[in-house]
Structure 1
Amino acid sequence: MATTATTVVKRFESPDETRPFAAHGRADVLDMNGHMVGRGEFEPGWRWSADVKPIAGTDSCQVSHLGYCVAGRMTIHMDDGADMDIGPGDAFAIAPGHDAEVVGDETCVLLDFGEFGDYAKRH
C-alpha cells in the first residue's frame, strides 16, 4: 500500500475488510480516502435474497451500485419487475430496490464503486 496526503494505492489481495456472505462468496473492501470500493466474488448459487438479505435485513437490496463485471454472469431483478443481465466487460449502474442472482456455474466477479460502505456489513 502506498499513501500520500491525497493519493492512495491498494490491492484487493490485502483488503481493509472482508465481508462474507451467508454462503456463496464474499466482498473485499478497500477504503480509498473515505470512498469504499468493493470486489465481490459471487459463487454459483448466490442470490441476494438468500445470501445478503439475512445480513441487510431489508426485503430487497437498498444499495445503489456503480461498477464493472470482470467475470461470470448475474441477473438483476428490479422491484418493478424489470430484469437486467450483466456479463464480462459490462459497466453497470443499478438503482436501489432489487434482488440479484448468479447465472451459470462460473463465479461472478464485480467491482463496485457505488454506495458500498454498508453493503453486506454485519452490524
Structure 2
Amino acid sequence: MPKLETRRVEVKNFQRPDETRMFEGKGRAEVITLAGQQVGCGTFEPGWRWSNNVKPIAGTELCEFSHLSYCLSGRIRILMSDGTQEEIGPGDVAAIPPGHDAEVVGDEACVLLDFGEFGDYAKRT
C-alpha cells in the first residue's frame, strides 16, 4: 500500500472538488487530492459509454487506467478486451485492470468513487 504524503489530517468534500472533468455531455468526474493522492467521484449518466464519451478525450482505443472503485448508485458494465464482462452495482467494490470499455446499465446515473489511477483519467491535455 502506498505511503500517504501527509503529517496532518486532511479533509475535503466532493461538494467543492479541486477539479471537475466533463465526459462529453454524459457526466463528469470530480477530483480531490489528499495526501498526494487523487480520488475521483465519477457520475456517469444514462447512455454513457467510455468509447463514446471518454475515448475522444483519452485518445486510446480502450481505457488504459486501472480503477479501484466503490459504487454508490446505479449500475455499470465493464467490458474487458478479452471479451469478459462484469456488472457493478450499489455497494460493490471493484478492481478494474487497464484495457476495458464501460457502459451505464439502465436509466439511473452510476456514481463511483475511484481510488485507483485517477490522476490523468479523462484529463484533457
Normalising by the smaller structure, the TM-score range is over 0.9
Residue 15 of structure 1 corresponds to 17
Residue 39 of structure 1 aligns with an amino acid whose one-letter code is C
- Separation in structure 1 between the aligned mates of residue 58 and residue 101 of structure 2, nearest angstrom: 12
Once the two structures are TM-superposed, the CA of residue 7 in structure 1 deviates from its matched residue by: 1.8
Instruction: Choose the corresponding residue for 1:93, options 92, 95, 98.
Output: 95
- Separation in structure 2 between the aligned mates of residue 16 and residue 33 of structure 1, nearest angstrom: 13
Once the two structures are TM-superposed, the CA of residue 34 in structure 1 deviates from its matched residue by: 1.3
Q: Structure 2: state its 5+ residue gaps.
A: 1-5
Q: When the two structures are superposed, what TM-score results if normalisation uses the length of structure 1? A: 0.95
The Cα RMSD (Å) is 0.9
Once the two structures are TM-superposed, the CA of residue 109 in structure 1 deviates from its matched residue by: 0.2
Instruction: Choose the corresponding residue for 1:50, options 42, 49, 52.
Output: 52
Correspondences of 1:73-92 after superposition (within 5 Å):
73-92=75-94
Residue 88 of structure 1 aligns with an amino acid whose one-letter code is P
* Identity in percent: 65
User: After TM superposition, which residue ranges in structure 1, 4 or more long, deviate above 3 angstroms?
Assistant: none
Q: Structure 1: state its 5+ residue gaps.
A: none
Residue 35 of structure 2 aligns with an amino acid whose one-letter code is N
- Separation in structure 2 between the aligned mates of residue 89 and residue 105 of structure 1, nearest angstrom: 18
Residue by residue over 1:44-88, the C-alpha shift from the partner in whole angstroms, topping out at 9 and shown as x without a partner, is 000000000000000000000001000000000000110010000
Once the two structures are TM-superposed, the CA of residue 6 in structure 1 deviates from its matched residue by: 2.6
* Number of aligned residues: 120
Residue 55 of structure 1 aligns to a residue in which SS?
Answer: helix
